[in-house]
Structure 1
Amino acid sequence: MKKLAILSIVFLSLFSCKDKKSVSDTVISEEISDEMVPQKTYAEISIAQGGEWVDGTRGHKEYNAGTSFKNVDSLQVPKEHTDHSWFIRYEGPGWENSQVGYRLYLDWRNAIDIFGKKVDSIVLPYVGQDGFDSYHEPSPWGQDILKAGNSMGIGGYGRVVADSVVHFQTVKNTFAYVENSEKSSSINISYEGWESGDDTIDLKAKLTIFPIDRYTKAELSPSDEITGICTGIVDHGVTFHKKEGETWAYIATYGQQTLASPPDNLGMALFYKLDEVAEQKKGDYEHLVIFKPTTAAITYYFLAAWEQELNGIKTEDAFLTDLDLKLQALNETNSIN
């Protein structure tokens, strides 16, 4: 971690969170590829410092005149924070391994987005440093490749109430912390007083990535039994697949559904345990998996496979073959990892 920390400190000191000055792609590429620490997974939360909360132009508070970003082990999300408030680098926590990266919007949207990677080294410390949303543009490491829109993105979570997905518009407190070890990296989030429909509950979420493969293991722990807790995959109108085994099943999409220019092929999949699920159906913005009421931990997996990934999956057939092998492993051992 030492070299990564040194590089991050040097890099962070160069930019303010809303600074639009760009860094040359050559510098970023060299720093990512040159003798990086042999770290296999990584998770982070990075917040702006040196500025202050002010009234913004979009009707909510914004963090203004930040001088740099600082990584923190944990974060009590400020009451002022919402979407596009310029406080959390790339708007929430991120996690990655050598093949793929993800981020969660730590605000009312609570969707999960994808960082497609063209390199096999750790890149998150550099993402969003040269302009708050610069990661939407192609770079040597890759880019943000998913348009979540009004959906939960890939593997995000919410609640179906009256046939609509309620996100996290009303939460009393949100607390997040990261864990990094040799075997995995995790984002842990505790939502206190989440209001949806006529119910108010607490919800704990843990999102874990492992050194090998593209999947994230998601674990949700509700404090009360309520109907409608759900996850899903954003629907971009491409090919949809569904397959059930004895105890586990998956839904998946494949096709030209990225933010790359022109759009290129991306496969997304979500694995779920059949006895934990009440219904799988099409929602307004995503393919939904709706869980049964429970206070036990709900476990599912999600993954993204981008064709520009280094040595990645290039065809729909290869993607489905990969999913079938994972489904077989889940049905035989109840685990992929």
Structure 2
Amino acid sequence: MNNNFNFCLPAAFMVLLFVGCKTYKNIAEIGIVLTNHSSLELTDKPISIARKLLPEKMNLNNYPVLVYKNDTIPSQVNDLDGDGKWDELFVVTNFSAYEKKKTQLVWVKQAPKFKIRTSARFGKRESENEPLQPATEETVNANQVYKKLGFQKYQTDGPSWENDKVGFRHYLDGRNSKDVFGKKIPAITPENVGINSKGAVEDNYHVMYDWGRDVFPVGSSAGLGAYALLVDNEITRLGILGTDTLNNIEKTTFKIVSEGPENSVLSYDYHNWNASGNKYQVNETTSIWPGMYGFKNTVSIEGITGKETFLVALSNINNQKGLKVIEAGNFVCLIQHDNLGYNREWIMGTAIIVPKKGYKGYMEAPKKGQLTDSYLAKFKIENNEPISYYAIAAWELSADKNFKDSAYFNNYVINLAKQLSTEITVKINK
């Protein structure tokens, strides 16, 4: 998509702009202190500063920016509830051990143009003969699935999202699996991935390009980071297989909530998901920011009665070396590393980083059925209580070639879990 934030203003120019903006002089003197209380060095640490925490005298018609040592910190504003007003200032920055950053809150008339390091993409068509059009939202009814329609309606089978390290896609065509794009370069991939020269949907991403390709087999697993429910010893995946003609979800609504240089957010609502004869309402939010070989997923389910177990899926197709389960920080890391690529052609590491709270171990999916070829992390789930976890993927052709080594990937995941466990305190001097 990339409609905003297309270039980067030099820091010196931005500082001069701030200093010369006398209208906001008093507001610019407001300090925000960001503190890392841990002994860890933090790389590309995301920080959300809620709008409601900022001073009431802020100018709502302008954009907030943080300045640290005469340099602007990469950030963006996000409208998370869709009311047309931004709700958070999303900041990404680095910290040394125990570092305290005393920043200044500054208001500018135009949004700064930072280097683009995240993106979200979605395209659709209403008939097989129509050219695909870019879109930011979609509604899918139970009978509007790939096998029933007889053609693929969506670019890359559904929305895709990425950062400077790795890319992913979600099968919105009824399957709701999650797949991986291996990236060889940090640049955002071309907008026409999954489209041919005539504007038609085409699977042209299972071949190698300079930027990379789709590298992860999914099959009848749920891919990397999708989920299911276990009720009375019956596993029900969210969605169906590609051979099915009727979804187990009555209606799905999807929206790209935000797309910016530092954060892209996607939202899904699943209405009346039929699992073991029960109807559930599900909200899922996917968020990605720079620097991490993965994304964050948050799921909440309405209709939980207490007999359900929530299952987070990690496809183990092509895995011949088993699973490592390691606790790190506030999380449990389920890690695999093998020739996980198509036809075992490439070495990959994939993992899910799940919270310790509520974790009940893992199980393997059955050999046959609607959900196979997966490790499934088990969780106690409460009604309408969100569960957040992370899906991680790195292959040997990534910019960091060390991912070919299993110990290196294991250490990466463990260190990432520790960094994710570290909270940055935000103090606003109003």
TM-score, normalised by the number of residues in structure 1? 0.79
Q: How does 1:189-268 map to 2 (within 5 A)?
A: 189-226=268-305, 227-236=308-317, 237-239=319-321, 240-245=323-328, 247-259=330-342, 263-268=345-350
Deviation at 1:262, TM superposition (A): 6.2
SS at match of 1:77: strand
- Residue 149 of structure 1 is matched in structure 2 by 219
**CA 89–333 in structure 1, closer or farther in 2 if over 3 Å, else same:** same
Q: Which amino acid aligns with 1:43?
A: A
Percent identity over paired residues: 21
Deviation at 1:210, TM superposition (A): 0.4
**CA 266–275 in structure 1, closer or farther in 2 if over 3 Å, else same:** same
Q: Which amino acid aligns with 2:184?
A: K
Q: Which amino acid aligns with 2:134?
A: N
In structure 2, the gaps of 5 or more residues are 7-113, 240-246, 367-372, 426-430
- Residue 106 of structure 1 is matched in structure 2 by 172
Distance 2:190 2:285 in 1: 19
Is 1:299 matched with 2:388? yes
SS at match of 1:134: coil
- Residue 60 of structure 2 is matched in structure 1 by none
Distance 1:276 1:107 in 2: 31
- Residue 323 of structure 1 is matched in structure 2 by 413
Q: Which amino acid aligns with 1:39?
A: I
Alignment deviations for residues 75-103 of structure 1 (CA, whole Å, 9 cap, x no partner): 11255532363111111110001111000
Is 1:286 matched with 2:364? no
Q: Which amino acid aligns with 1:195?
A: N
Deviation at 1:158, TM superposition (A): 1.8
1:40 to 117, 120, 124: 117
Alignment deviations for residues 227-269 of structure 1 (CA, whole Å, 9 cap, x no partner): 122112111233221102463111011010102x661100001
- Residue 24 of structure 1 is matched in structure 2 by none
Deviation at 1:148, TM superposition (A): 0.8
**CA 296–133 in structure 1, closer or farther in 2 if over 3 Å, else same:** same
- Residue 428 of structure 2 is matched in structure 1 by none
Bigger Rg, structure 1 or 2: 2
Is 1:270 matched with 2:270? no
- Residue 171 of structure 1 is matched in structure 2 by 249
- Residue 85 of structure 2 is matched in structure 1 by none
Q: Which amino acid aligns with 1:292?
A: K
Distance 1:164 1:318 in 2: 34
Is 1:117 matched with 2:196? no
Deviation at 1:104, TM superposition (A): 0.6
Alignment deviations for residues 183-208 of structure 1 (CA, whole Å, 9 cap, x no partner): 21011100011110021011000111
RMSD: 2.4
Q: Which amino acid aligns with 2:129?
A: A
**CA 190–225 in structure 1, closer or farther in 2 if over 3 Å, else same:** same
TM-score, normalised by the number of residues in structure 2? 0.63
Distance 1:101 1:223 in 2: 30
> Is the 1:96–1:124 Cα contact (8 Å) retained in structure 2?
no
Distance 2:417 2:122 in 1: 32
Deviation at 1:311, TM superposition (A): 2.9
Distance 2:168 2:404 in 1: 20
- Residue 138 of structure 1 is matched in structure 2 by 208
- Residue 9 of structure 1 is matched in structure 2 by none
- Residue 129 of structure 2 is matched in structure 1 by 65
Deviation at 1:172, TM superposition (A): 1.4
